[in-house]
Amino acid sequence: MEKKSYSPIVPALTKNAITVLERRYLKRDKEGKILETPVQMFHRVADTIASAENKFNEQADTSVIAEEFFRMISQLEFLPNSPTLMNAGRELGQLSACFVLPVGDSMEEIFDAVKFTALIHKSGGGTGFSFSRLRPANDVVLTTKGISSGPISFMRVFDVATETIKQGGTRRGANMGILRVDHPDIMDFIMCKADKKQLNNFNISVGLTEAFMQAVEKDENYDLINPRDGQISGTLNARKVFNRIITQAWENGEPGIVFLDRLNRDNPTPHIGAIESTNPCGEQPLLPYESCNLGSINLGKMVQNGQVDWKRLKEVVHLCVHFLDNVVEINNYPLPQIAAMTMGNRKIGLGVMGWADMLIQLGIPYDTEEAVELACKVMSFINDEGHSASQALAKTRGAFPNFKGSLYDKKGAPAIRNATVTTIAPTGTISIIANASSGVEPLFAVSYVRQVMDNDILVEVHPLFEAIAKERGFYSPELMQKIAEHGTLRDIQEIPQDIRNLFVTAHDITPDVHIRMQAAFQKHTDNAVSKTVNFANGATVQDVARVYELAYKLDCKGVTIYRDGSRDQQVLSVAKKEQPVAAAAPDKDTSTGKRERPKVLKGWTYQMQTGCGPLYVTVNEDSTGLFELFTTMGKAGGCAASQSEAIGRMVSLAWRSGLQARQVIKQLQGISCHSPSGFGENKVLSCADAVAKAIQAHLSANGGKVQHTKRVFLKGACPDCGGIVEHEGGCAVCRLCGYSECA
């Protein structure tokens, strides 16, 4: 085979992309010094994945396929999931992003799952669980004659384990917790994240059945089943349960829902097992002990001269399937059970990013029927070509081992290499690297602001919008600033109407459009589609209900919604003109820089008992909100007093610079020392923990009331850099530094 020659030129990476790569992806030495460039990283990944060819032909010249992989990745036409970029060709060698583990109804099985979770998170993966096998709270435990503590109590064990493991500083642990709607503890599960103080390492979803949805439509009762013995243990009104799910999702975005029967309807290997859960963002249904390797095509790169480049798209799809099948082959799986299950089914999940970018280049507004029709056409093409590529691999490498008895086999379909081929995942940080819009989401913003050193404010503009603005003659720095302040183009008269229609953002689009777009992609996707349905802050519970019902009607496999401002920790990153801030705690900063100290402040002092003696914490406020914090350490001196003073100074600086109280609490809470104090809810683990508890007490005492202020730029959305946070597939991702809430 003649070796093809490709240009070594790599597209210029954006500043944000380089920041993300340097912080999380590039190889480092023991001292933290970066050892490779982005181009060298692309070569490392391409060469490593191409080396799998030798497993099928020891004499194979891997340089040809390595060059094709490198061209595709380095040109940002395709990127694999983050663990593959991070770990391919490195000692860890764990390349999968998502796993599902079984949780059995015994102490041994539960804590085996906790141990396995730790190993997976240590390797850089996220985990999904169904807790539906666990007997309900207060149920009988025959071996001890005691009573069960129930699924939610054990979820807290997994949550604490996840919090403890930091995954080497590159990827945070993330979990999905699912409970069947017919489990006796379902109402407690629906409410388990209502106070926002627990299970923060979990996304949660209720597993809905067809029988339940039919009962909702008829406003009938349905049976609750005790998983210990399969017996009916009670009944609930389906409509009331459904309304509780919707109301709680309206409150803070959780729980999501997954339609379990639909997941199993499309389970390609029912003879191997039933699907109980998904990965943390909900798009990848998996059998117990199964993993999946994901990757996304950048659709923005598949447009030439205002037309979809179907020829290149086909080439890239076939190359991607080859790439992902190689990943399955050389992956270093964290558990032998996972290796066996994954190799048996060889599932891959090829998805897309840059969908909004493709539409803009084609001149098609996101919220049109034409866009929905194109979504069907593009994803149908990718799915069909992906299956064709997998069938071609099966001719030379063999079908996946569990093919016999699978749905393919029963339908008389050709042998195929991979049990599933397509998945639409949230693309989070890899879309930042590719400078592409996330997944199948609309644009989050056309222009936004970022704060850099010395409190300078820079305006970031979508490159396609900037190019069109300059071409059409309406570009100016002042206009870009105005767009960033508005957060939308809708009311900016200086911009032509056709451009305003084309560059719609997530909050310009009705929830119905979000669901219809999700359904269009789902129709031609083997697994599921990760998509967030955005609601304005003023949306009603009934608005959410209509979307859930539409998702069921349009055959979606799940729904994740987010109502703007419905979580305490969210801070809007684009302004709402003359609108009060309604989404945060009473410590909101109203300036873009550090506030100056007035001569007189009001304050409260809280006594906290620590292992070093009483710690007095004084919280002072100015007219805006929380301003500064002082500590006095009883009669103790030395290290305890000086460390407490240092904490107070840093907290004061953070508040004066705009950081939220809850972010300070998150950083300090749970830090332990050699001398804790107290028991139960009153236990104080350290002086830092005492400061966090004092701030919490202050917030509670003041009712969490919001200071209503006018804003141009609200910073602090991202706990790492204060940049934009987008809600995507049940996760929050920063477009500036790559921080991910659940990855």
Of 115, 218, 210, 130, the closest CA to residue 178 belongs to 130
9 backbone dihedrals φ, ψ, rounded to 5°: -70, 130
* Separation CA 58–CA 73 (nearest Å): 25
User: How far, rounded to the nearest angstrom, does the alpha carbon of residue 46 sit from its chain's CA centroid?
Assistant: 26
* Separation CA 195–CA 199 (nearest Å): 10
Which residues lie across from 76 on neighbouring strands?
none
Provide the CB-side half-sphere exposure for 512 (13 A, CA). 5
* Separation CA 340–CA 352 (nearest Å): 28
Which residues lie across from 353 on neighbouring strands?
298
Residue 394, C-beta contacts closer than 8 angstroms, at least 6 positions apart: 400, 414, 415, 416, 417
Please report the DSSP string for 210-237 in residue order.
HHHHHHHHHT-EEEEEETTTTEEEEEEE
Q: Give the total residue count for the chain.
A: 743
Six token digits for residue 112: 């085996």
User: How far, rounded to the nearest angstrom, does the alpha carbon of residue 176 sit from its chain's CA centroid?
Assistant: 11
* Separation CA 705–CA 605 (nearest Å): 19
* Separation CA 705–CA 689 (nearest Å): 24
* Separation CA 59–CA 633 (nearest Å): 71
- Convert 389-405 to b/e letters by CB count within 10 Å (16 or more is b): bbbbbbeeeebbebbee
Q: Is the peptide bond before 598 cis (omega within 30 degrees of 0)?
A: no
Q: Catalytic residue numbers? A: 279, 281, 283
* Separation CA 539–CA 511 (nearest Å): 10
CB atoms within 10 A of CB 443: 22
| Beta strands at 78-80 and 558-563: parallel, antiparallel or unpaired | unpaired
Of 529, 174, 176, the closest CA to residue 349 belongs to 529
392 backbone dihedrals φ, ψ, rounded to 5°: -65, -40
Six token digits for residue 35: 């050892």
The set of long-range contacts for 195-201, using a CB threshold of 8 Å and a minimum separation of 24, is 196/252, 196/567, 196/568, 198/156, 198/159, 199/155, 199/156, 199/159, 200/159, 200/163, 201/158, 201/159, 201/162, 201/163, 201/172, 201/173, 201/174, 201/175
Secondary structure element (H or E) that encloses residue 691, with its range = helix 687-701
